[in-house]
Chain A
């Protein structure tokens, strides 16, 4: 198992995609941190309209929570690439020659994606703080970097980003076609889920369902949600979010084990 893990890390760090995606995530979250920082603080100063105000610690939590709620596409993609690349370039053959026990192969993929996700989480969290905190401090109610609740959000940003990477890897096991996996991830994260969360959140009887979507569960775990702050759906308790999220990973990994990993490999 240790050897399989070392092999996985060498696979990832011997090609360029990991730092390209990392740079992309840092750039994206930096941009989001500044722009949304201004828009959140701007809306909090003009709250006469009756729409829920985002101010104080809530504003800080919503902004810092963007690492997961907006940045999650990056760990998802890197996680899925860690698996789909093997199929795309047919290195899966050599990989299974080196480790024929497919359960060990699966475990190594999932475990290896944890530190990769932590790396992305640390970079993303550092970026959102570096970009967003000054904006909150200057034009909002403050950066709240000593508030324990806010610090927990930062901590869970890293945890959830790691879990997104694991989810990406388990999804890659199910959809091994690299292009298909990326298209599905982009479509789901950039369109399907946001729309579903807004729609579900606007229907009273269904509002609770939104937090059972992967993004909702992740926001629950982080303990902050831009969507929730907008009043579109309540969050689960942290442990509930964690359970739902781990459930997604378990389902994808199990399905991948029963389909992809039972097949013959060329």
Chain B
């Protein structure tokens, strides 16, 4: 795409905290969302994602800390919807208003003409339903209308809360293409989700929170590095295998009928066993993938225990995931 390059501001969250009585819904959260990339804002339900976004957008007041769009808070931008387009899950639509009517309501404050509303309905694929009342829209159509509303002011930043909810797989793919395109233009895109899988193929960076606290922030590749391989082997000569494990300094435990070797892939184990002439009856990859890393990072969220700091080679603590 011979695109225009948009100079978009970063989103900067610094020491952001929201206290509801005894509950610290967001707890000293700091992260930055850079322009030109899609950042996934991930965490289980109730982790504080939406509360964080509401504070970022001036809908909720922070107990302490700051959330900035560029150099100032959202509310201090003169025409904020021309800077940040946001679609929050909690946002509603008047069921008696048409989709077009809804966009026209918010067009004046974004400073755009009605023609922009038509364009956007076209872009999000609900132009046919422009004059139907939103009360008759499906969940997916509402998501699309919410996205169109966010895009009204052609904002350089996009903040979308669980935008894949209610979208069918085709819709999710369409959204991915759109968001990648926006990031490619240089825009700042922040997308929250409680499901890593739904945004895994969309995001460049990840910010993972649990119980209101930051547990991980890196590129997606950086998070993938936390995944650790493991290999399950079954051998008729356990002594030879034990010797092999000892020679290579692997970390192995008995597991079911065989042995689990952590931190090593099947290729490495297979090659070593072949070279040492150790007979193997089974050689199976048992490692953790990105999803496991995500669960491990955010686990314990239900009982309030602190998240473990992941260490390479440690088995995924899948047992505690609820």
Where the two chains meet, the residues of A that have a C-beta atom closer than 8 Å to any C-beta of B are 2-4, 6-7, 10-11, 14-17, 85, 89-91, 93-101, 264-266
Are B59 and A264 touching (Cβ within 8 A)?
A: yes
Residues in A whose Cβ lies below 8 Å from that of B88: 93, 97, 266
Q: Across the interface, which residues of B come within 8 angstroms of A98, CB to CB?
A: 80-81, 106, 109-110
Given contacts A85-B94, A89-B93, A90-B92, contact A10 B108 (CB under 8 A): yes
For B59, what are the chain A residues with a Cβ–Cβ distance below 8 Å? 93, 96-97, 264-266
Asked whether A94 lies within 8 Å of B101 as measured between CB atoms, the reply is no
Q: Are A264 and B57 in contact (CB under 8 A)?
A: no
Q: How many A-B residue pairs have CB under 8 A?
A: 86
Interface residue tally for chain B (C-beta within 8 Å) = 33
User: Does B104 sit within 8 A of A, measured CB to CB?
Assistant: yes
Task: Name 21 A/B residue pairs within 8 A (Cβ), A-sorted.
Answer: A2-B108, A4-B108, A4-B109, A6-B108, A7-B105, A7-B109, A14-B98, A14-B101, A14-B104, A89-B94, A90-B90, A93-B91, A93-B92, A94-B149, A96-B58, A98-B80, A98-B81, A100-B75, A264-B59, A265-B59, A266-B88
Contact with A along B108-123 (1 / 0, CB 8 A): 1111000000000000
Alpha-carbon distance A95/B108, docked complex (angstroms): 12
Q: A265 to chain B: which residues have CB within 8 Å?
A: 54, 59-60
**Which 4 pairs, one residue from A and one from B, show the smallest C-beta to C-beta distance?**
A90-B92, A264-B60, A14-B101, A100-B75
Minimum distance in angstroms from B123 CB to a CB of chain A: 18
Interface of A is mostly: helix
Which residue of chain B is the closest to A99 with respect to CB atoms?
Answer: B109
Q: Which residue numbers of B lie inside 8 Å of A, CB to CB? A: 50, 54, 57-61, 74-75, 80-81, 86, 88, 90-98, 101-102, 104-111, 149
CA distance A4 to B108 in the complex (A): 7
For A10, what are the chain B residues with a Cβ–Cβ distance below 8 Å?
A: 101, 104-105, 107-108
Q: Give the shortest distance, in Å, between A82 (CB) and chain B (any CB).
A: 12
> How distant is A123 from chain B, measured CB to nearest CB, in Å?
21
Q: Which residues of B contact A100 (CB under 8 A)?
A: 57-58, 74-75, 80
- What B residues does A14 contact at CB under 8 A? 94, 97-98, 101-102, 104-105
How far apart are the CA atoms of A266 and B20 in the complex, in Å? 14
A264 engages B92 (CB within 8 Å): no
Q: Are B104 and A97 in contact (CB under 8 A)?
A: no
List 13 other contacts, CB 8 Å, given A85-B94, A266-B50: A3-B108, A89-B92, A89-B93, A89-B95, A90-B90, A91-B94, A93-B59, A94-B92, A94-B106, A97-B58, A99-B109, A266-B54, A266-B88
Set of chain B residues within 8 Å of A2, measured between Cβ atoms: 108
Among A3, A85, A94, the one with the most B-chain Cβ atoms within 10 Å of its Cβ is A94
CB distance from A109 to the nearest CB of B (A): 14
Task: Tell me the nearest residue of chain B to A93, going by C-beta.
Answer: B91
- Which of the residues B93, B107, B108 comes within 8 Å of A91, measured between beta carbons? B93
Cα of A35 to Cα of B35 in the assembled complex, Å = 69
- The answer to whether B106 touches A7, judged by C-beta atoms less than 8 angstroms apart, is yes
B224 shortest CB reach to chain A, Å = 34
Task: Give the residues in chain A near B61, CB-CB below 8 Å.
Answer: 264
CB proximity of A264 to chain B, nearest CB, Å:
4
A15 & B96 in contact (Cβ 8 Å cutoff): yes
